[in-house]
């Protein structure tokens, strides 16, 4: 069982991943954030560090997927390798932060990797509008994230809507979290867990 959570920065992926890992006794594969050597530099100077950051994330995610394939148990993954390419790298390229030559190099690397990747059995997409994302980002208080521009989040959301709208790699569960607080509100948490449980049980039937 491989379940992955997709969503923009601040949508609640990591929190939900930990909750589901505990609920189902799954291995939790989190995004490499705290030990990422490029993230702080990226938010300070996107044109200089975009390519470096995306290659780091792509390699990190590919290693995650390899570990998931070798695992015999269930795994919950915070963000997918598809988002690295179709959302983040594509957005940075279209925004002019990654040069054409570097972007084509990145795409060739992604194509080589994706041949060895199996999509998750279930993809959970946390849909959140900009006010919710900004509130969550401010709440967790990472210094470097204070530099994130609203326009950057808006562009990412547009890429997510397009990607999710055409997602056909496996089962998809979309959860609108705009009016939810599944950290503090027990009812919201129970609602999400129930929806996920129905999908997970459906995979076994």
- What is the pTM assigned to this prediction? 0.91
Q: Is the pLDDT of residue 146 over 80?
A: no
Question: CATH assignment of 2-204?
Answer: 3.40.50.300
The number of angstroms, rounded, from the C-alpha of 158 to the middle of its chain's C-alpha atoms is 14
**Domain segments of the chain: what residues?**
2-204
Whether 78 is catalytic: yes
Q: Which of 35, 41, 45, 78 is catalytic?
A: 78
Q: What is the pLDDT of residues 94-112, one digit of tens each?
A: 999 999 999 999 999 999 9
Q: What is the pLDDT of residues 7-39, one digit of tens each?
A: 999 899 999 999 999 999 999 998 877 778 998
């Amino acid at each position: 069982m491989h379940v992955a959570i997709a969503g923009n920065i601040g949508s609640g992926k990591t929190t939900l991943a930990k909750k589901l890992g505990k609920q189902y006794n799954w291995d939790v594969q989190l995004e490499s954030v705290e030990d990422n050597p490029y993230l702080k530099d990226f938010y300070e100077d996107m044109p200089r560090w975009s390519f470096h950051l995306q290659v780091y994330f792509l390699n990190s995610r590919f290693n995650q997927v390899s570990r998931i394939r070798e695992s015999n148990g269930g795994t919950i993954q915070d963000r997918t390798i598809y988002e690295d390419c179709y959302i983040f790298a594509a957005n940075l390229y279209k925004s002019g932060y990654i040069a054409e030559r570097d972007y084509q190099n990145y795409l060739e690397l992604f194509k080589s990797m994706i041949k060895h990747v199996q999509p998750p059995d279930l993809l959970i997409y946390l849909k959140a509008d900009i006010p919710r994302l900004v509130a969550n980002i401010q709440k967790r208080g990472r210094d470097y994230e204070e530099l994130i521009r609203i326009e950057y989040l808006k562009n990412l959301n547009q890429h997510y809507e397009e990607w999710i709208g055409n997602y056909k790699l496996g089962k998809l569960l979309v959860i609108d979290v705009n009016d939810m607080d599944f950290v503090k509100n027990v009812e919201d948490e129970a609602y999400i867990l129930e929806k996920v449980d129905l999908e997970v049980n459906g995979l076994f039937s």
